[in-house]
Amino acid sequence: MDERVREHAEVLVDWSARVDPGDHVVVSVAEDTHELGVAVAEALGERGAAVTTLYGSDEMNRAYLQGATSRSKEGEVGEESDEDAGGDDPAASVPEFPDPVVDRALFEAADVYLRLGGGRNTAATADVPRETRRAHARSRQEVRERRMDTDWVSTVHPTRSLAQQAGMAYEEYREFVYDAVLRDWEALAEEMAEMKRILDAGEEVRIHTEREDAPDTDLTMSIAGRTAVNSAASVAYDSHNLPSGEVFTAPYDTEGEVFFDVPMTIDATRVGNVHLVFEDGEVADFAAETGEDALASVLETDPGARRLGELGIGMNRGIDRFTDSILFDEKMGDTVHLAVGRAYDACLPDGESGNESAVHVDMISDVSTGSVMAVDGEVVQRDGTFRWEDGFER
């Protein structure tokens, strides 16, 4: 085993999840992530944790959803009368899913959840009807909530499918992943603390971009009363991704328009050049050069899917290229991302509910040129450079 796999497991268990003796840990191991799963299991055993292992297979998930769709269609055919035959009502064939009581109970009993991502095919569920995927997501919303109540951390093992998605050779991709994961996280946390301080004290963020090769962005959002998260790859910082390297908060009262020029995969579909228009805090109009149907499907999930749940500012200079993986791309320096859907509780005052939704979908803008981000009218970042960094133009 590559020694870096064991180092990855140790960072995940010790720095990221802060696993203690006696903790009940659920580990979801994706296809082709066996090596990291073995290393994580060994580390958890050494630390005296109790372990439950799940097989997180996208291919099995596809098979289940396709089977549910077929069952629903067969039921529709069997129940229709002669005069109903030939009708075309897509909603009628959307399957209903049972209450996932076992999964909910599992996460209610868990202290820690570790997701080891990877997989054999990053588009494994692409041919599952969107209506089925949305119905399944809604049926599991309470499971998601219970899972997020744990000390959860998501990471990836470098697999060939992810390397292919990133447009890299496998060996090159492994170097990229370990350069991003095996970092001095404590030093990065100290560096990002200044951005958190500014957002915590601020009331309004404005992002404005003007470039010849892209539509303009001019977006304002309120952050008053919110708490920013210094996402330093550890639950001790209310951070749940490894790698990480962003500062994020939960905005509201969003107005204006924004253009996302970084391609991404949403709902197993390639989506590019997204334009959103916000009025009264909601998406009032949208367009995408590619994958617009997938974007529409997300926005139609529930009422909260048309509101922002996150403003994130990428600050990890160690991630130096886009890979079509949100785990890496949203952390890259010179980027800002916004997520429609659910807001994270860590950003909200005690007892206050933020935006609620069954989805949380991030979209990314490159702010390296022609861009200004201001908090309460004071420029914090210009053309990707923060005001405390060398090269900032006042």
Per-residue model confidence (pLDDT) at position 90: 52
Lowest-confidence range among 25-39, 121-135, 298-312?
Answer: 121-135
E strand or H helix at 58 = helix 58-79
Is the separation of the CB atoms in 266 and 248 below 8 Å? no
- 102 falls in which pLDDT band (50, 70, 90)? very high
Answer whether residue 29 shows pLDDT above 90: yes
- 72 falls in which pLDDT band (50, 70, 90)? confident
Give the mean model confidence (pLDDT) for residues 54-72: 93
3-state secondary structure of 292: helix
Per-residue model confidence (pLDDT) at position 324: 86
Per-residue model confidence (pLDDT) at position 312: 97
- Percent of the chain clearing pLDDT 70 (strictly above): 95
Lowest-confidence range among 77-91, 221-235, 252-266, 363-377?
Answer: 77-91
- 85 falls in which pLDDT band (50, 70, 90)? very low
Give the mean model confidence (pLDDT) for residues 61-88: 69
Per-residue model confidence (pLDDT) at position 244: 94
Mean pLDDT of the chain: 92
Q: Report d(CA 27, CA 205) in Å as an integer.
A: 38
Per-residue model confidence (pLDDT) at position 81: 42
Give the mean model confidence (pLDDT) for residues 189-203: 95
Q: Report d(CA 58, CA 367) in Å as an integer.
A: 33
Per-residue model confidence (pLDDT) at position 91: 55
pLDDT tens-digit profile of 362-374?
Answer: 999 999 999 999 9
CATH 3.40.1830.10 location in the chain: 3-181
Q: Report d(CA 144, CA 100) in Å as an integer.
A: 11
Contacts of residue 204, Cβ cutoff 8 Å, sequence gap at least 6? 220, 221, 222, 223, 224, 375, 376
Number of Cβ within 10 Å of residue 74's Cβ equals: 11
Contacts of residue 309, Cβ cutoff 8 Å, sequence gap at least 6? 250, 339, 340, 341, 342, 343, 344, 354, 355, 357, 360
Lowest-confidence range among 196-210, 229-243, 313-327, 334-348?
Answer: 313-327
CATH architecture of 3-181: 3-Layer(aba) Sandwich (3.40)
pLDDT tens-digit profile of 273-310?
Answer: 999 999 999 999 999 999 999 999 999 989 999 999 99
Q: How far is CA 17 from CA 22, 123, 345, in A?
A: 14, 28, 18
Q: Report d(CA 33, CA 201) in Å as an integer.
A: 42
Sequence-ordered strand ranges (E) for the chain: 24-30, 50-56, 112-117, 151-156, 204-211, 214-222, 229-231, 241-242, 246-249, 252-260, 264-266, 269-279, 282-290, 308-314, 335-341, 360-366, 371-375, 378-382, 385-386
Higher pLDDT, 353 or 224: 224
Per-residue model confidence (pLDDT) at position 158: 96
Q: Report d(CA 176, CA 97) in Å as an integer.
A: 39
Is the separation of the CB atoms in 67 and 130 below 8 Å? no
Per-residue model confidence (pLDDT) at position 86: 40
Per-residue model confidence (pLDDT) at position 92: 56
- 134 falls in which pLDDT band (50, 70, 90)? confident
Per-residue model confidence (pLDDT) at position 88: 46
Give the mean model confidence (pLDDT) for residues 175-187: 93
Per-residue model confidence (pLDDT) at position 212: 85
Give the mean model confidence (pLDDT) for residues 124-140: 90
End-to-end CA distance of the chain: give it in Å, rounded.
Answer: 50
Output phi, psi for 41, to 5 deg: -60, -40
3-state secondary structure of 367: coil
What are the percentages of helix, strand and coil residues in the chain, rounded to 5? 35, 30, 35
In one-letter notation, the amino acid at residue 232 is A
- 320 falls in which pLDDT band (50, 70, 90)? confident
Q: Report d(CA 117, CA 74) in Å as an integer.
A: 34
130-139 and 292-299 helices, crossing angle to 10°:
30
